[in-house]
Structure formats: C-alpha cells, structure tokens
Amino acid sequence: MLNCLFCRIIAGEIPANKVYEDADTFAFEDLHPQAPTHVLVVPKKHIADLAEAAATDANVVGLCQLAAAEIARQRGLSKGYRTVVNVGPDAGQTVFHLHVHLLGGRSLSWPPG
Ligand code: AMP
Ligand code: ZN
C-alpha cells in the first residue's frame, strides 16, 4: 500500500534494520525499543490490523507468531519473551499495518499497561 510505513519498509523504500525475512513475513528492529529485544514482525501482505484480518489471512497471521518464536530462539531468549499485537486506539496502535511486537531480554511485568 502506497502510504503505509511498514509496506514501504518491506519494499526497501524506508530504511530499517532487518532481522528476518521469508516468503510471507518480514521482521525488523523497532525504532524505539522497549526492551533489549524489540522486533516487529509483519506480514508482507498489507493487513491494517487484527480486526481487519480475514479467515484467509489465518496462515500469515500464524506465520508472524512463528517467525517471532524463531527470532527469539536465534537470540537465545530461553527465559521467556512476549509477543504483542496492539489493535485500535485503546491499545495504542499507531501504525496500521498488522505487526507482532517481540519483546524480550528483561523481565516483563503483568498485566501490561
Ligand atoms: P503500535 O503502537 O503497536 O502500532 O507499534 C508501532 C511501532 O512501530 C512502535 O513501537 C514504533 O516504535 C515502531 N516504529 C514506528 N516507526 C518505525 C520505523 N520507521 N522503523 C521501525 N519501527 C518503527
Ligand atoms: Zn502496509
């Protein structure tokens, strides 16, 4: 999508520190990390958010979670990590291209704010 920040990162039009890529997903370092590991995993297909995802997106939505798990393995996050999907204003979603936050490398409080 033309004016989508994450579509433009996937296309290489806006720089990002890529950490993982496969046929369906793309992952890069968050610009404002909230933990020692803070990676965003996105589907290459533009989906605005989880609320907009269709049943036909089930595979790619799951693949984003599995990519996050693979990155966590590669980084040795054996003590744990969290994957987060913010949806809509109450969750503080700011970029409307579905993304999974992978947070790890420190103790994470519960419940989240
Ligand atoms: P959310 O609030 O769930 O929509 O998360 C959006 C995330 O994108 C935030 O954690 C931002 O720090 C991150 N972000 C915004 N712009 C960029 C960028 N150009 N490169 C990497 N991460 C970004
Ligand atoms: Zn997009």
Q: Which domains does the chain have, with CATH numbers?
A: 5-87 (3.30.428.10)
Using the mean position of ligand 2's atoms as its centre, give its distance from the Cα of residue 20 in Å.
Answer: 17
pLDDT tens digits for range 34-45: 999 999 999 999
State yes or no: pLDDT of 2 exceeds 90: no
Cα–Cα distance list, 18 to 21, 26, 91, 102 (Å): 8, 8, 25, 14
Question: Is 39 strand, coil or helix?
Answer: strand
Question: pTM for the full model?
Answer: 0.98
- The pLDDT assigned to 111 comes to 96
Is 99 tagged catalytic? Answer: yes
pLDDT tens figures, 75-113: 999 999 999 999 999 999 999 999 999 999 999 999 998
Verify whether ligand 1 is closer than 6 Å to residue 86 (CB atom): yes
Q: List the residue whose alpha carbon is closest to atom 19 of ligand 1.
A: 31
